[in-house]
A = this chain, B = another copy of it.
Amino acid sequence: MIRLKLALELDYEVFDPGCDFIFNIHAAHTDRQRVVGEELTLSQKVPSTLETDPATRNRYLRLSALPGPLRVAYSATVDLTHHFAQPDQIAEVPVAQLPAQALSYIYPSRYCQSDRLLKLAMREFGRQWHGYARVQGIRDWVLRRTTFLQNTSNATTSAIDTLIDTVGVCRDFAHLMIALCRAINIPARFTTGIDYGADPALGPTDFHAYVEAYLGDRWYMFDPSGTAIPMGFVRLGTGRDAADVAFATIFGPVSSQAPRITIEAIPGADGRLVMPYHCAEALSTD
């Protein structure tokens, strides 16, 4: 068990006539990710609602902010009890046996146009041994031929753009990996969290996007941009792609500052401090 303490602050200047927000910044509750404590503070005294989407377990905070400054501060203590598995023991699931809730993750989505990549994916990965290793092979392929570079992509950049441009940030690596998985009928989804363990040279701690692929009997985590330590990932949202799980969706005129985020491993209920590390096993918190 790993206990992580995360804290994030988002600052906005809301302009006239105010602005609606949908935030997805709360840690998800799953069987293996337990939120043992959390706190939300809003600088404006406006009503807010917090709902959990039953299908994804994403937790959405909604509020209508007034003109003026808005600060949203969230902190949480989260216990992760990872499922560990040996990669060579994890098989792919034939389409006919996929659980219904995984099915929609084999279809193309806004930023993961898998329907355009069927032949390319078959050519590159069609003859590889089926199983976890094939997905890991896709992850490595994406990482190898894409350069991590800030400010090379934007909100409309898709998997196909990244394939052509060969640069991007974590979001873009994730989209390309997802599109390639789906192109060979492996369910893959876009998951958001914090970039635990990322090299400070890449900038301050930030939101992160990674991939979960459905293999064997569950969703396993992959970090195609290779910038962080998956064992330290606290899941915030999961969806088809970035269209579903922006940390903030904003409906009105605002200016915003860079988020300020911290995350660290702390001693668990038993007083032991366990640090996330790069491991060879397959990992799942779902």
| Interchain nearest-CB distance for A154 vs B (Å) | 10
A132–B186 Cα gap in the complex (Å)? 40
Given contacts A108-B110, A110-B110, A185-B251, contact A100 B60 (CB under 8 A): yes
Which residue of B has the minimal Cβ distance to A65? B96
CB distance from A166 to the nearest CB of B (A): 5
Main secondary structure of the interface of A (DSSP, over half): mixed
Closest CB in chain B relative to A214 CB, distance in Å: 15
Q: Which residues of B contact A20 (CB under 8 A)?
A: 94-96
Whether B155 pairs with A120 at a CB distance below 8 angstroms is no
Interface residues of A in 31-65 (CB under 8 A from B): 51, 53-55, 60, 62-64
Q: Is A123 an interface residue (CB 8 A)?
A: yes
Q: Of the listed stretches A71-79, A83-91, A157-165, name the one at the interface; the rest are far from the partner chain.
A: A157-165
With CB as the reference atom, state the residue of chain B lying closest to A123. Answer: B166
Residues of A whose CB lies within 8 Å of any CB of B are 20, 22, 51, 53-55, 60, 62-64, 94-96, 100, 103-104, 107-110, 112-113, 115-117, 119-120, 123, 145, 147, 155-156, 160, 163-167, 185, 240, 243-244, 251
